[in-house]
Structure 1
Amino acid sequence: MTHSRVVRPQIFSHIPQLMAGISTRHGGVSSQAFQSLNLGVHTDDDPSAITQNLLLFCSDLGIDPESLARSYQVHGSEIWTSVAPGYESGYDAIVSTTPGIFAGVGIADCCPILLADPVRKTAAAIHAGWKGTVAQIVSKTASAMIAGGSNPSDILAYIGPCISLAHFEVGDEVAEQFELKEQRGARWHVDLKATNAAQLHALGVTQIEISDYCTVENNDVFYSHRKEQGITGRMLAVIGFQRRG
């Protein structure tokens, strides 16, 4: 069975100018634990393999790797509003206000959220692990788009593949920070997808697609930091509007 390099959100499929997708672990050149489409620049993979993988993924997505805006992520809630491509540090959400600039975040169990306003041609990529989710990074990013002129009813959201409620077992100190959780036996499980969806709903963003994929359950398709005990690759979630012409 052959797998695609890119999962494309259905919710954006009617917007020709919008490029959006999340990479899988297939169709790249990395070996061993990073097999095969590792896009994580801070992993111990061969840098030349990561560069080649990025070229392959971006080619399939229909964008130039040089047009990406990315950051070294720190599980915080800082937002970079980018008007030029590049690589920053300390941001877990990137907003592109300029067509031709594509926001990208790395993931391997944490929740990727992609936001797009087709009216204003702004888009955002968000990395929300449990810390970022508790810090309301999705709410803060959507709020920044709304403050910039977006109407909540125009914003489309995709909540992508991440660790699911069934597999995200946490300690009491994490669980107590979540409303959407279940106790299974002696342990708590929390729901990153539903929690981030609730943050969007609270702002009036109701056009939301939630991926069925779980990075642990579907480890044959995606990297999972938890299941692979930290020695694994990273996917990339990318979104942005093409320049016209």
Structure 2
Amino acid sequence: MQSSEKAKELYRRPTLFSSFDELVAAESTRHGGVSPEPYASLNLGLNTPDDPENVTENRRRFFATLGISADRVASSHQIHGVAILRATEPGRFDGYDALLTNQPDIYLAVSTADCVPILVYDRRHQAVAAIHAGWRGTVGGIVSLTLQAMQAQFDTHPGDCYAYVGTCIDETSYEVGPEVAEQFGPNHKRIDSFSGKAFINLKSANTRQLTDFGIPAAHIGISTFSTVLDNKDYFSHRHENGQTGRMLAIIGIQPR
């Protein structure tokens, strides 16, 4: 994390990546922007009803604190699917929930407001991935599919990877219906013994895909924050009844 107070307001950098000077990796907070309620204040979502000029200024501020240019960012309109894009150039794409690249100076970004962002760094091959996983993407194995794509395209090996499971809705806040609960294994859901209601743990379900691929537990960082319990710092689509902003999680390798 940068030392300035402004940078601290705008984003948090995963401790896991702090020793990699070549890497830009961060997830935004909701602080330091210009958007009014209910999008206050650092709304980075391009597909929200917020004034586009506000979002443009917020994104400018966020990227500037990271020392990168907005025209070097690759992102996509996400559809809660499992399609993966190998980004060979920056830009705004459509229909992908995961992006990967081995090209420096391309910064991959995914948008969230309860779903979990996962950032992956292959240190040996200098490749990165950014993944957006809601319950559909999690059940569809989007993390596993992305890691397999990195292995096929970049010769990525599990022991060379570092992965961060970012801020999302926590298990105690993520009640789901039986049609969703039945798609998760017992290690990633809790059934309340009194009410019979089901609750899903997106962090653990996606972490399991990382460890199943073979990434060492010591190479995995998991956010301690919740979009609901820490709503003063993060946007939550569910807690704020859909009227809220979006965060970005971003990763990329700086040019030498």
- The alignment's TM-score, normalised by the length of structure 2, stands at 0.93
Partner residue of 1:189? 199
Match of residue 230, structure 1, among 211, 218, 242: 242
Alignment of structure 1 residues 1-245 onto 2, 5 Å: 4-148=9-153, 149-179=155-185, 180-184=188-192, 185-206=195-216, 207-244=219-256
CA–CA separation in structure 1 for the residues paired with 2:67 and 2:24: 7
Output one character per residue of 1:31-57: Cα deviation in whole Å (capped at 9) or x when no partner.
111100000000000111101100110
Percent identical: 46
CA–CA separation in structure 2 for the residues paired with 1:121 and 1:63: 18
CA–CA separation in structure 2 for the residues paired with 1:63 and 1:201: 31
1:125 alignment partner, SS class: strand
In the alignment, structure 1 segments of 5+ residues that lack a partner are none
Output one character per residue of 1:34-90: Cα deviation in whole Å (capped at 9) or x when no partner.
100000000000111101100110111121111000000000000000010000000
Output one character per residue of 1:88-143: Cα deviation in whole Å (capped at 9) or x when no partner.
00000011220000000000000000001121111111000000000000110111
- Kindly provide the amino acid, as one letter, of the partner of residue 20 in structure 1: A
- Kindly provide the amino acid, as one letter, of the partner of residue 40 in structure 1: G
Q: How far off is 1:151 after superposition?
A: 1.2
- Kindly provide the amino acid, as one letter, of the partner of residue 101 in structure 1: I
Higher mean C-alpha displacement, 57-66 vs 38-47? 57-66
In the alignment, structure 2 segments of 5+ residues that lack a partner are none
Q: Quick check: which one's helix share is greater?
A: 2
Q: Considering only aligned residues, what root-mean-square deviation do their CA atoms show, in Å?
A: 1.1
Q: How far off is 1:166 after superposition?
A: 0.8
- Kindly provide the amino acid, as one letter, of the partner of residue 183 in structure 1: I
Q: How far off is 1:162 after superposition?
A: 0.1
CA–CA separation in structure 1 for the residues paired with 2:80 and 2:22: 30
CA–CA separation in structure 1 for the residues paired with 2:220 and 2:98: 18
2:61 alignment partner, SS class: helix
- Kindly provide the amino acid, as one letter, of the partner of residue 83 in structure 1: T
1:104 alignment partner, SS class: strand
CA–CA separation in structure 1 for the residues paired with 2:27 and 2:99: 15
CA–CA separation in structure 2 for the residues paired with 1:150 and 1:11: 19
CA–CA separation in structure 2 for the residues paired with 1:120 and 1:13: 18
1:32 alignment partner, SS class: coil
